[in-house]
Amino acid sequence: MKVEWPTEKIPGSIGSIVLGKTAEDGGTRKVSYTIGGGKSMPFIRAENGTPNRPRIAMEVHSAKPDFKAMAAEELAGVLDDPVAWAKACENDWGADLVCLKFTGANPDGEDCSVDETAALAKEVLGSVGVPLMFYGCGDESKDSQIMSAIGDMIRPEGAVIGVAEADSYKSMAAAAIAFNTHLVSFSNLDINLAKQLNILLLEYDFPAERIIMDPLQGALGYGVEYSFSVIERIRLAALAGDKTIQMPMICDASVGNNYREAYEPSDIWGEANTRSILWEGVTAMSSLTGGADLVIIRCPSSTKYINRMLDRLMGGGD
Amino acid sequence: MGLSAIEIYKLLPKTNCGECGVPTCLAFAMQLANMKVELSACPHVDAAGEEALGAASAPPIKLVTVGDGEGKLELGDETVLFRHEKTFYHAPPLVGVVEDGWDADAIKTRAADVKALVFDRVGREEGMNAVAVWHTSGDMAAAATTAKEASGMPLVLIGSDEGAMKAALGAVGGDKPLIVSAEAGSNAAMVALAKEHGCPVAVGSDGGLEGLVDELKAAKDAGVENIVMLMRGELGDLFNDLVAVRRLAINKSFRELGYPSMTIIEGDDEIETTLEAATLLMKYSSMLVLRNYSPELILPMVTIRLNIYTDPQKPIQVKPAIYKVGDPGPDAPFMLTSNFSLTYFSVEGDVDKSKVPSRILVIDTEGLSVLTAFAAGKMEPDKMADAIEASGIADELNHKKLIIPGMIARASGKLAELTGWEIIVGPRESTGIPKFLREL
Ligand code: B12
Ligand code: SF4
């Protein structure tokens, strides 16, 4: 008996975005990638669900983070040297992008100055060739100063900045407009909130084709079921034709490292390092299976394995 | 169920006698279309109508039972493609493997290990669910007997050698193991054995989904009802096939592929195989046979399974009440948390670790975690104060000191004002509790 592929009417599709600009486009990145563009649910070949390979951005923190177990071990040599860290992501660990998180700038933490932070951004920009993402510290006024300080430098690079949240999106959006970057719109595990924030941005005249949505990633065992379903619902709504929610999605799977199963030694849970890679890895696979176009990853080993899974999900077949 | 209310209505007696409990045949048809009632509620449908409707109202994916008695497994019978549309019902069993070529001690040890590998997750015991006996070169009957005795779990028998399978079924067939035909060439023989022993059977095909349809039909025609699809292939192909059969069964009422699917995860790299298994679990594999085995691989698997297969409409909750950890006296610490299971069991586990006997008051946050409940207004100071008052805890204690989660430190002032209690702000993460309690 003949089995036909169970086609469905799919009126919408995911927008696509080019990350990074090479010399050809006036930037200094060595590579650039198109993400998004999906015409169905992820990895469905007959419907072109994933025409562009989802990408991995490895995170780099501007101040030495307090990582545990596998993350601490694998990143030991670079944790207090963001530039070396970023270089290793590119050269040794298979990152497609580097996501520089300005955690050190937080006024409640180390409170690094705007100048210091901008100088670091400059050095990272000059040290790696992959496209870059710049994440603020969460303090609105500090972040807006930082983005202004690095704006001219990153303007030609096709960079991504983040994150814009519902209660403070204007300063980030203004920076992204002024400096010609993409913008991450971050909402709290709710399709309607994701949509609302996009609408706010669009009403603020922010170009739809420069928005990347972050619907908040819950970790394996700690909310992954909520994020999995929100990601799927967003993707389905986009495919159903809702233009306000057709932007590519980013998920920060590094949260997978933050829970005890990922780092605590245990007599019952088995060997901790393997567990740790899997905690981040399964978290990331849930976002990718749901519809993420870009994931943020912490551990080099997780990056290696997720790349392998992507090879296998994207490759083969007809 | 595939048929619309109007299509169903045409097959009903149209007498509006009301015996089904709804006033009209049309109303009954509408309820039937939404799977709210059973066809048997109408005593008057004729044989032809019953046949047409019975077939249409059968679940789109057959429910298959593996094993007998306690611990028996149920696979399939899913009704949606995405968990948010309703829920996924039958969490895929995870199956550990022994080979009959191993010596008896190795089989015994592994089978016992598979049984013993149980994790406590949010108050539930989660672990592996069956042992697969894989025929390579040894005595399958002896291996199956050993595996059964050592594990007491349902069995899955994997092989293509008719003689070996026959012998194994002679030993354990009464327990209704799942017979897996390891090669398409052995399907007919294995189906015949399944028929003879009344066991479920899994068949696959080398000819893609079209070949699979033929193999399934042959099994059905041979008189076996409980059939499982053995799905194979490189990850990307397998993923697509699993999506295709699920969509065909549910959206197109394509009965020919309306069976649960099983996958066998093989490969040397245990991290890679586990990520593969987790991905296939999220996308529709109804049973997973896992060659690689150890706690650090199975814990993430049972966790993702628990997450994906919980009802999205109701978070797993604990009953609001006062819980005692250890044997707390009237001077023991007293703390408060939300009734989201994950929250409560994290806290309970860490209080237990501290070895400081304590009381935990669980307040009703409708299953929301501490911060979520706080953000949603379900853990406001007045709500907490009321819960403390209503619990009668004051009579049990010699003190009026309450420890609250560090994440809601903001609430402490108001809470102190409302209760007159001393409010102590605990650590933000429950992992900080042991140190905190010991130093209190
Ligand atoms: C999953 C999730 C949801 C799920 C709900 C899951 C659930 N059943 O609670 C959903 C999608 C429904 C949800 C909704 C919302 N959410 Co929400 N959600 C999360 C998420 C991702 C994880 C929460 C979780 O499960 N944590 C795990 C549990 C175990 O943590 P916990 O209960 O806090 O317990 C820990 C500690 O508090 C401590 N602890 C607990 N009890 C005690 C007791 C004592 C004595 C001590 C010492 C310690 C202690 O130990 C535990 C383990 O460390 C967090 C972000 C994050 N990564 O944390 C956001 C988060 C909690 N949500 C947030 C918000 C704003 C919301 C919404 C209001 C937004 C919206 N969508 O409208 C809604 C409100 C819900 C409603 N009904 O209206 C915010 C809260 C912001 C704030 N700072 O107040 C967060 C932090 C996200 C963010 N970064 O902005 N959310
Ligand atoms: S019992 Fe049957 S015949 Fe009578 S009203 Fe209900 S559906 Fe119609």
Which has the closest alpha carbon to B141: B164, B110, B112, B160?
A: B164
Residue A318 has pLDDT above 60, yes or no: no
Per the CB < 8 Å rule, is A225 touching B84?
A: no
B371 reaches A (C-beta below 8 A): no
Interatomic CA distance for residues B127 and B120, integer angstroms: 9
With cut-offs at 50, 70 and 90, classify the pLDDT of residue B48. Answer: confident
Q: Average the pLDDT over B361-374 and give the result.
A: 94
Residues of chain A with pLDDT > 70: what percent? 99
Residue A145: the pLDDT is 97
Q: How many angstroms separate the alpha carbon of residue B124 from the centre of ligand 1?
A: 21
Residue A316: the pLDDT is 55
Per the CB < 8 Å rule, is B278 touching A282?
A: yes
Residue B35: the pLDDT is 73
With cut-offs at 50, 70 and 90, classify the pLDDT of residue A78. Answer: very high
Per the CB < 8 Å rule, is A289 touching B283?
A: yes
Atom number, ligand 2, closest to the C-alpha of residue B13? 3
Residues A158-196 pLDDT 10s: 999 999 999 989 999 999 999 999 999 999 999 999 999
Residue A7: the pLDDT is 84
Which has the closest alpha carbon to A224: A285, A313, A270?
A: A285
Pick the residue of A2, A3, A56 with the most B CBs within 10 A to test the interface with B by mutation. A3
Cβ-in-10-Å burial (0-12, 13-18, 19+) of B137 comes to exposed
Interatomic CA distance for residues B134 and B157, integer angstroms: 6
Residues B106-137 pLDDT 10s: 999 999 999 999 998 888 899 999 999 999 99
Q: Average the pLDDT over B259-267 and give the result.
A: 97
Find out whether B95 and B290 touch, Cβ atoms under 8 Å: yes
Domain B63-308 fold is TIM Barrel (3.20.20)
B243 reaches A (C-beta below 8 A): yes
Residue B2: the pLDDT is 62
Comma-separated ranges of CATH 3.20.20.20 domains in chain B: 63-308
With cut-offs at 50, 70 and 90, classify the pLDDT of residue A69. Answer: confident
Question: What separation in angstroms does the CA of B207 have from each of A3, B190, B254, B287?
Answer: 12, 18, 18, 21
Question: Cis omega before residue A163 (within 30°)?
Answer: yes
Q: Average the pLDDT over B346-363 and give the result.
A: 94
Angle at A85 between CA A82 and CA A91, to 5 degrees: 145
Residue A177: the pLDDT is 97
Minimal C-alpha gap between B123 and chain A (Å): 13
Q: Average the pLDDT over A139-157 and give the result.
A: 96
Q: Give me chain A's average pLDDT, please.
A: 96
Residue B1: the pLDDT is 45
Q: What b/e sequence results for B281-312 when a residue is b if at least 16 CB atoms lie within 10 Å of its CB, and e otherwise?
A: bbbbbbbbbbbbbebbbbbbbbbbbbbbbbeb
Describe the strand order of the beta sheet including A132-135 as a list of residue ranges: A211-214, A182-186, A160-164, A132-135, A97-101, A55-61, A294-297, A250-252
Chain A residue whose CA is closest to B213: A1
**Pairing assessment for the beta strands B118-121 and B124-127 based on DSSP bridges:** antiparallel
Residue A231: the pLDDT is 98
**CB < 8 Å to B298, chain A:** 270
Minimal C-alpha gap between A131 and chain B (Å): 27
Q: Average the pLDDT over A28-36 and give the result.
A: 98
Q: How many angstroms separate the alpha carbon of residue B374 from the centre of ligand 1?
A: 8
Residues B132-191 pLDDT 10s: 999 999 999 999 999 999 999 999 999 999 999 999 999 999 999 999 999 999 999 999
Q: Which domains does chain A have, with CATH numbers?
A: 25-312 (3.20.20.20)
Pick the residue of B254, B293, B303, B428 with the most A CBs within 10 A to test the interface with A by mutation. B303
Comma-separated ranges of CATH 1.10.15.40 domains in chain B: 5-57
With cut-offs at 50, 70 and 90, classify the pLDDT of residue A317. Answer: very low
Pick the residue of B80, B243, B316 with the most A CBs within 10 A to test the interface with A by mutation. B243
With cut-offs at 50, 70 and 90, classify the pLDDT of residue B434. Answer: very high
Residue B49: the pLDDT is 84
Residue B264: the pLDDT is 98
Question: Ligand 2 test: best mutation among B14, B16, B45, most atoms within 8 Å of CB?
Answer: B16
Residue B6 has pLDDT above 80, yes or no: yes
Residue B423 has pLDDT above 70, yes or no: yes
> In this predicted structure, which of A264-273, B40-49, B280-289 has the lowest mean pLDDT?
B40-49
CATH number of the B321-439 domain: 3.40.50.11600
Model-level pTM? 0.91
Which ligand minimizes its atom distance to the CA of A218? 1
A309 reaches B (C-beta below 8 A): yes
CATH number of the B5-57 domain: 1.10.15.40
Comma-separated ranges of CATH 3.40.50.11600 domains in chain B: 321-439
Task: Return the top range by mean pLDDT from A20-24, B22-26, B391-395.
Answer: A20-24
Angle at B394 between CA B391 and CA B395, to 5 degrees: 100
**Pairing assessment for the beta strands B94-99 and B118-121 based on DSSP bridges:** unpaired
Number of A/B CB contacts below 8 angstroms equals 148
Q: What is the DSSP string of chain A?
A: ---------------EEEE--BGGGT--BS--EEEE--SSSTT-TTTTS-SS--EEEEEEESS-----HHHHHHTTTTTT-HHHHHHHHHHTS--SEEEEE-GGG-TTTT---HHHHHHHHHHHHHH--S-EEEE--S-HHHHHHHHHHHHHHHGGGT-EEEEE-TTSHHHHHHHHHHTT-EEEEE--S-HHHHHHHHHHHHHTT--GGGEEEE--PPBTTBBHHHHHHHHHHHHHHHHTT-GGG-S-BEEEGGGGGGSGGGT---SSS--HHHHHHHHHHHHHHHHHHHT-SEEEE--HHHHHHHHHHHHHHHSS--
Residue A130: the pLDDT is 98
Cβ-in-10-Å burial (0-12, 13-18, 19+) of B405 comes to buried
